[in-house]
Amino acid sequence: MCMSVPRYWRERAYRYRLVGTECLSCGRRYYPPRRVCPVCHSRNLVEVKLPERGVVVTYTIIRSPPRGYEKYAPYAIAVVELLDGTKVLAQLTDIDLSEVEIGMEVEAVFRKIREDGEEGIIEYGVKFRPRLTGH
Amino acid sequence: MREVAIVGIGYTKIGELWERSLRDLFVEASLRALEDAGIDDVDALYVGNMMSGTLQEQEHLGALLAGYIGHPGIAAAKIEAACASGGVSLHQAYMAVASGLYDVVLAGGVEKMTDRLTPDVTFSLAMADDMEYTIYSGVTFVGLNALVYRLYMHKYGVKQEDIANFAVLMHENAVNTPHARFRRRVKLEDVLRSPLIADPIHLLECAPISDGAAVLVLTTLERAKKLTDTPIVIRASAVATDYLSIYERDDMLSLRATVLASRKAYKQAKLEPKDINVLEVHDAFTILGILALEDLGFAERGRGAVLVKEGEIAPDGRVPTNTMGGLKARGHPVGATGIYQAIDAILQLRGDAGKNQVPNAENALLQSTGGVGGTVAIHILSRAD
Amino acid sequence: MRTASDVGIVGYGAYIPMYRIKAKEIARIWNVVQVPIEEKSVVGLDEDSITMAVEAAKNALKRANIDPRDIGSVRLGTESKPYAVKPSATIVAEVLGITPNTLAADLEFACKAGTEGLQSSIALVASGMVRYALAIGVDTAQGRPKDALEYTAGCGAAAYILSTKSHETLAYIEGSHSYVTDTPDFWRREGRFYPMHTGRFTGEPAYFKHIINAAKGLMEELGLKATDFNYAVFHQPNVKFPLTAARRLGFNMDQVKPGLLCDRIGNTYAAAMLIGLANILDMAKPGERILAVSFGSGAGSDAFSIVVQDAIEARRDLAPKVADYLGRRKYLDYAKYLIHRGKIRMR
pLDDT in tens, B332-348: 999 999 999 999 999 99
Q: What's the sign of the alpha-carbon dihedral B279, B282, B283, B287?
A: negative
Residue ranges in chain C whose pLDDT is less than 70: 347
C106 and A CB contact within 8 Å: no
Q: Could B119 and A89 be called an inter-chain contact, meaning their C-beta atoms sit closer than 8 Å?
A: no
Same domain membership, residue C325 and residue C276: no
Q: Could A64 and B138 be called an inter-chain contact, meaning their C-beta atoms sit closer than 8 Å?
A: no
How much is the pLDDT for C69? 97
Same domain membership, residue C191 and residue C136: no
Q: Are B299 and B306 in contact (CB under 8 A)?
A: yes
Chain C hits for A93, Cβ within 8 Å: 44, 46
Closest among C295, C328, C10, C292 to C180, alpha carbons compared: C295
Closest among B213, B221, B214 to B7, alpha carbons compared: B221
How much is the pLDDT for C11? 98
Over range A64-78, report the average pLDDT.
93
Q: Could C320 and A135 be called an inter-chain contact, meaning their C-beta atoms sit closer than 8 Å?
A: yes
Q: What is the DSSP string of B191-221?
A: HHHSPEEETTEEGGGBPPB-BEEEEEEEEEH
Whether A111 is covered by a domain: the verdict is yes
How much is the pLDDT for A58? 98
Same domain membership, residue C177 and residue C132: no
pLDDT tens digits, C135-163:
999 999 888 999 999 999 999 999 999 99
Q: Is the pLDDT of residue A8 over 70?
A: yes
Q: Where are the alpha helices (DSSP H) in chain B?
A: 22-37, 52-56, 61-68, 85-98, 118-125, 141-156, 160-174, 188-193, 221-227, 256-269, 286-295, 304-309, 334-350
Closest among A35, A91, C210 to B138, alpha carbons compared: A91
Q: How confident is the model at residue A135 (pLDDT cuts 50, 70, 90)?
A: low
Among C51, C325, C328, select the one facing A112 at the smallest CB separation: C51
Neighbours of B1 (CB within 10 A): 9
Interface test with A, best of B130, B134, B139 (most A CBs within 10 A): B139
Whether A135 is covered by a domain: the verdict is no
Same domain membership, residue C239 and residue C145: no
Give the SS3 label for residue B126. Answer: helix
> What is the enclosing helix (H) or strand (E) of B76?
strand B75-79
B157 to chain A, closest Cα gap in Å: 13
CATH code where residue C228 lies = 3.40.47.10
Task: Give the domain range for residue C90.
Answer: 7-169+321-340
B71 to chain A, closest Cα gap in Å: 38
Query: C199: burial class by Cβ within 10 Å (0-12, 13-18, 19+)?
Result: exposed
Which residues of B are part of the catalytic machinery? 83, 332
A101 and B CB contact within 8 Å: no
A90 to chain C, closest Cα gap in Å: 13
β-partners of residue B236 are B380
A52 to chain C, closest Cα gap in Å: 12
A41 and C CB contact within 8 Å: no
Q: How confident is the model at residue A134 (pLDDT cuts 50, 70, 90)?
A: low
How much is the pLDDT for B207? 97
The total number of residues shown for chain C amounts to 347
Alpha-carbon distance of C75 to C93, in angstroms, equals 10
Interface test with A, best of B54, B123, B199 (most A CBs within 10 A): B199
* ipTM for this model: 0.96
Chain C hits for A72, Cβ within 8 Å: 45-46
Same domain membership, residue C153 and residue C129: yes
Closest among A114, A30, A67, A89 to B143, alpha carbons compared: A89
Query: B187: burial class by Cβ within 10 Å (0-12, 13-18, 19+)?
Result: exposed
Architecture of domain B4-117+209-232: 3-Layer(aba) Sandwich (3.40)
How much is the pLDDT for C93? 98
β-partners of residue C42 are C19
C331 and A CB contact within 8 Å: no
Q: Is the pLDDT of residue A133 over 80?
A: no
Q: Could A135 and C46 be called an inter-chain contact, meaning their C-beta atoms sit closer than 8 Å?
A: no
Q: Could C46 and A132 be called an inter-chain contact, meaning their C-beta atoms sit closer than 8 Å?
A: no
A8 and B CB contact within 8 Å: no
pLDDT tens digits, A98-109:
999 999 999 999
Q: Name the closest residue on chain C to residue A115, using Cα atoms.
A: C46
Closest among A3, A129, A7, A5 to A66, alpha carbons compared: A3
Same domain membership, residue C183 and residue C163: no
> What is the enclosing helix (H) or strand (E) of C25?
helix C23-30
Give the SS3 label for residue C221. Answer: helix
pLDDT tens digits, C161-174:
999 999 999 999 99
Chain B hits for A11, Cβ within 8 Å: 132-133
Same domain membership, residue C130 and residue C274: no
Same domain membership, residue C183 and residue C151: no
C140 and A CB contact within 8 Å: no
Closest among C12, C15, C10 to C70, alpha carbons compared: C10
Q: Are A129 and A109 in contact (CB under 8 A)?
A: yes
Q: Name the closest residue on chain B to residue A62, using Cα atoms.
A: B198
**Could you tell me whether strands A75-82 and A45-49 are parallel, antiparallel, or unpaired per DSSP bridges?**
unpaired
pLDDT tens digits, B166-175:
999 999 999 9
Question: What predicted TM-score, i.e. pTM, was given to this entire model?
Answer: 0.95
Q: Could C95 and A110 be called an inter-chain contact, meaning their C-beta atoms sit closer than 8 Å?
A: yes
Interface test with C, best of A5, A111, A123 (most C CBs within 10 A): A111
Give the count of domains, chain C: 2
How much is the pLDDT for C347? 64
Interface test with B, best of A28, A29, A60 (most B CBs within 10 A): A60
Task: Give the domain range for residue A16.
Answer: 5-130
β-partners of residue C13 are C159
Q: Could C95 and A94 be called an inter-chain contact, meaning their C-beta atoms sit closer than 8 Å?
A: no
Residue ranges in chain B whose pLDDT is less than 50: none
Omega within 30 of 0 (cis) for the link into C299 = yes
Same domain membership, residue C122 and residue C22: yes
Q: Which CATH fold topology does B124-206+235-383 show? A: Peroxisomal Thiolase; Chain A, domain 1 (3.40.47)
For chain B, residues classed under CATH 3.40.47.10 are 4-117+209-232, 124-206+235-383
Q: Which residues make Cβ contacts (< 8 Å) with residue C159, sequence separation at least 6? A: C11, C12, C13, C14, C53, C56, C57, C59, C60, C134, C135, C136, C137
Chain A hits for B248, Cβ within 8 Å: 30, 87
Q: What is the DSSP string of C238-296?
A: SSHHHHHHHHHHT--HHHHGGG--HHHH-B-GGGHHHHHHHHHHTTPPTT-EEEEE--B
How much is the pLDDT for A1? 58
Closest among B74, B83, B27, B88 to B51, alpha carbons compared: B83
Whether C287 is covered by a domain: the verdict is yes
Whether A10 is covered by a domain: the verdict is yes
A105 to chain C, closest Cα gap in Å: 16
Whether A122 is covered by a domain: the verdict is yes
